Amino acid sequence: MRLIYPACFYPSEDGYTVVFPDLPGCVTEGDTLPEAMDMAIDAASGWLLGEVEENKQLPKATNIKNVIPNEYENGFVSLIGVDLDEYSQKHGNKAVKKTLTIPAWLNTIAEENNVNFSQVLQSALKDQLGIS
């Protein structure tokens, strides 16, 4: 799902602050304009993914013509595009269902010992992949 939201960029001596009027609390910054743009994409993607994972409705984007960056001098507005599908594949915490096959005897012993199969699989995969 590709989404586009307006962002207000505010330059300062230290770089740029970026605020998304439609995404409450979604603020980021960068030392340079290219870095601020990259950070804006990441911040908006993370904010939107959080809403999706909590089953909340995503806010409608305000028309860029109606956004006025009036907080600071020299502010400007730019549209920021995010690919939520791509971002969620890399950063999402939504659980996915996996079917696996194990020997019946192992299943019996594991169930008798109240083993949480999902937790064991996650732990084993993280160990195998060297992920903390």
Q: Are residues 68 and 11 part of one domain?
A: yes
Calpha distance 120→132 (Å, rounded): 14
Angle between helix 84-91 and 33-53 (nearest 10): 80
Nearest-CA neighbor of 121 among 90, 96, 92, 85?
96
- pLDDT for 70 equals 76
Question: Structural domain of residue 38, as residue ranges?
Answer: 2-91
Question: How much is the average pLDDT of 13-20?
Answer: 94
Q: How many domains does the chain have?
A: 2
Q: Are residues 107 and 72 part of one domain?
A: no
Q: For residues 91 and 111, which has the higher predicted lDDT (pLDDT)? A: 111
Q: Are residues 130 and 81 part of one domain?
A: no
Q: Are residues 129 and 68 part of one domain?
A: no
- pLDDT for 45 equals 95
pTM reported for the whole predicted model:
0.70
Q: Are residues 107 and 48 part of one domain?
A: no
Q: Are residues 131 and 79 part of one domain?
A: no
